[in-house]
Amino acid sequence: MTQPFAAPPRASFWQKLGPGGVASLGLAAATGLALLGLPWAHRLRQVLKGAAGDEPRSADAILVLGRRLVDDWLTPVFQARLVHAEALWRQGLAPRIFVAGGTTGSARRSEAEAAREWLLARGIPPEAILLEDRSQHTLENLFNVRIHLRREGWRTLLLVSDPLHLARAKATALGLDLEVRCSPAPDCLPHPGSLRWWERALQEAFLLHWYHTGMAYSRLIRSERQLERVT
What the chain holds in terms of domains, given with CATH numbers, is 21-27+36-49+194-230 (no CATH), 52-184 (3.40.50.620)
Conformational region of residue 14, where left means phi above 0, alpha means psi within -120 to 50, and beta covers everything else? alpha
Residue 2 has what pLDDT? Answer: 45
Query: What are the pLDDT tens digits along the chain (231 aa)?
Result: 345 667 777 777 767 777 677 888 899 999 989 988 999 999 999 999 999 999 989 999 999 999 999 988 999 999 999 999 999 999 999 999 999 999 988 889 999 999 999 999 999 999 999 999 988 889 989 999 999 999 999 999 999 999 999 999 999 999 999 999 999 999 998 999 999 999 999 999 999 999 999 888 888 888 777 777 677
Query: How far is Cα 217 from Cα 23, in angstroms, rounded to an integer?
Result: 9
pTM for the whole thing? 0.91
Residue 64 has what pLDDT? Answer: 97
Q: Is the peptide bond before 4 cis (omega within 30 degrees of 0)?
A: no
Sign for the pseudo-dihedral over CA of 8, 11, 15, 21: positive
Query: How far is Cα 179 from Cα 39, in angstroms, rounded to an integer?
Result: 26
Residue 63 has what pLDDT? Answer: 98
Residue 30 has what pLDDT? Answer: 93
Give the closest residue to 67 by CA, choosing from 213, 198, 189. Answer: 189
